[in-house]
Structure 1
């Protein structure tokens, strides 16, 4: 008996969904930074990410680049990856990426921000063996006025701290992307 591997079909569905979401995002927003990442992952991780992309168009949900007029960026400590990251996560069913980014910011950092549009659109390419697919990672631009102190209240327990940074710590995930955005948008 031959086993049929459905990863090719899943990857094709994911590609189609990613293309739809990419066009919807880029058509709705102007003046944002585009980046590209490529990751080789295990077979089980590929399946998980391809399923997310097929459902949402995005492997990691939506995130916010939150800044103060002084140029400081808000980062949250993600215990699961042991790094500073931008706040964000997966959308709930029927929730837009922007609304998911806003909700995640409130949960993970407890701050209110004014959203200015799309800061960055990252194309995330995922590979495993002979399979590949891609999805988008939208990062929305959000501005906080004043000296608001972040207070994480993450229901998932993954985010344990939040703080403002003038200089990004070395252990910041996607540090180069954030530095590139700062140069693109703030300077």
Structure 2
């Protein structure tokens, strides 16, 4: 790609701009927001004066800070920074903040994240960018995972808020992972070679007897290509039971297995663990926060006419937050509902049947 076609400071919603003196006033007002402070830092929450904000501390910490301005209206909405840069190790830490509550959840943060990662890996020639996110800041954690970050570990009970202890999650992204995620080239080869025991996003891959949850993405996708050069795709699904023992099903509007009732789920993104994928998909599709109880089985969907071949890993899960509602109206799924295990609607998606049968067996044994 020619650099003439790549404007490094310009995204689809925001741009990276030089901080201005008046921005310090806005940053200071942001710190009047208790939630903003609680998500941004693990330190004691206290409003800051304009003199205590700004980029001077970032520059002292060997870093680069940008103001975030909207393309529409040129409004100052926050900041992003790469700091604590170790040039010898080609590593840095990342910070990003959207100040006003009304500006959150509108894609500004994700667009800014795309820009600052590109700046770090292309302009600064970094190999690793890391950050920390507090356990309860789930929106930020999902955004980082979607951008290609991986969880590396947790500092247990490192943050005390309102009488509750929370983990501090360490995450990072390497240049080669960002390149694969973004499709943009690198000018160097990373020396990192993934090993079978490497941590993946969402935790360690574990081998447990004959359970197939231990299968890595590379193992699942190693089926040889056929003459049509269509490779199997990797999916996840969740059998979600409520307190009445009913299972959540969704009507499929699209292929694969169009016009059937199925358990919610979806595809695994590059560099995303299976468990992270199923938790993300359920939140994005039906607005539920889930916890995984156990692996159920794997399932295959093979439809040569539609050029569809899916290998899916199915989990037994429980709801820990949210209320079920269709977040994809007019999209892949239509009506959703809770159904007794002994009175399921038809037709059922072939993909869902093995998981539902496995849960029925477990439920009857209990």
Q: Per the shorter chain, which TM-score range? A: 0.5 to 0.7
Change over 3 Å in CA distance of 1:88–1:179 after alignment to 2: closer
Contact 1:76/1:109 (8 A) holds in 2: no
Give 1:97 shift.
1.2
1:38-187 maps to which residues of 2 (within 5 A)? 44=228, 47-48=229-230, 50=231, 53=232, 59-80=233-254, 81-122=258-299, 124=300, 136-144=311-319, 149-154=323-328, 157-166=331-340, 167-174=343-350, 176-187=353-364
Indicate conservation of the 8 Å contact 2:289/2:320, yes or no. Answer: no
**Structure 2 segments unaligned to the other structure (5+ residues):** 1-195, 197-203, 213-225
Runs of 4+ in 1 over 6 A off after TM superposition: 29-32
Counterparts of 2:330 and 2:210, CA distance in 1: 33
Give SS of 1:113's match. strand
Q: For 1:25 and 1:137, how far apart are their aligned partners in 2?
A: 16
When normalised by structure 2's length, the TM-score is: 0.33
Looking at secondary structure, tell me which structure has more helix per residue. 1
Report the alpha carbon displacement of residue 160 of structure 1 after superposing the two structures with TM.
Answer: 2.1
Q: Are the counterparts in 1 of residues 289 and 319 from structure 2 also a CA contact under 8 Å? A: yes
Aligned-residue Cα RMSD (Å) equals: 3.6
User: Which has the greater radius of gyration?
Assistant: 2
TM-score by length of 1: 0.60
The aligned length equals: 140
Shift, 1:151, TM fit = 0.8
Q: Residues 182 and 125 (structure 1 numbering): CA distance in 2 closer, same or farther, change over 3 Å?
A: closer
- Residues 43, 125 of structure 1: alpha-carbon distance in 2 compared, 3 angstrom cutoff: farther
Q: Quick check: 2:265–2:278 contact (8 Å CA) kept in 1? A: yes
- Pair 26,65 (structure 1): closer, same or farther in 2 beyond 3 Å: farther
Q: Which has the higher contact order (CA 8 A, sep 6+)?
A: 1
Q: Tell me the alpha carbon deviations over residues 130-165 of structure 1, each in whole angstroms, 9 at most, x when there is no partner.
A: xxxx9742001111269x642111388111221111
The CA distance in 2 between the partners of 1:127 and 1:89, in whole Å, is: 17
Report the Cα offset of residue 99 of structure 1: 1.0
Which of these residues, 22, 27, 32, is aligned with residue 207 of structure 2? 27
